[in-house]
Amino acid sequence: MRGAVVAVLVVAVVVAGCGGQESPGQQPGNPAVYQRIEQETDCVTLQGEFDQAEQTSQRPGGPEGATWSEIGIAYMQAAEARMREVGCH
């Protein structure tokens, strides 16, 4: 499981580095999701956010301006960063 998470994060970093359609400093998806992740301190809940984001990244298509893959990966990156901040791993 941990190896899969690391692999997903590596892919996420590569994809994020390739650019996207959003403006600099703007994250794809719903700002409320990022706020929810940033305010969370429970590791189990943050892992749930990560897992949900991974499922989102597998959806085809996406709303105007980004694919579900881009949005899901960005949410996963936010959840992973927050888990590190609060000491989940």
pLDDT tens profile 24-51: 468 999 999 999 999 999 999 999 999 9
In a domain, 19, yes or no: no
Name the domain count of the chain.
1
Please check whether residue 45 lies inside any domain of the structure: yes
Q: Is residue 15 part of a domain?
A: no
pTM beyond 0.85, yes or no = no
Q: Is residue 21 part of a domain?
A: no
Residue 50, CB-side half-sphere exposure with 13 Å CA sphere: 24
Domain around 56: 2-10+31-85
Q: What angle do CA 76, 5, 37 make, to 5 degrees?
A: 25
pLDDT digits (tens, 9 = 90+) for 55-68: 999 999 999 889 99
Residue 43 domain flag? yes
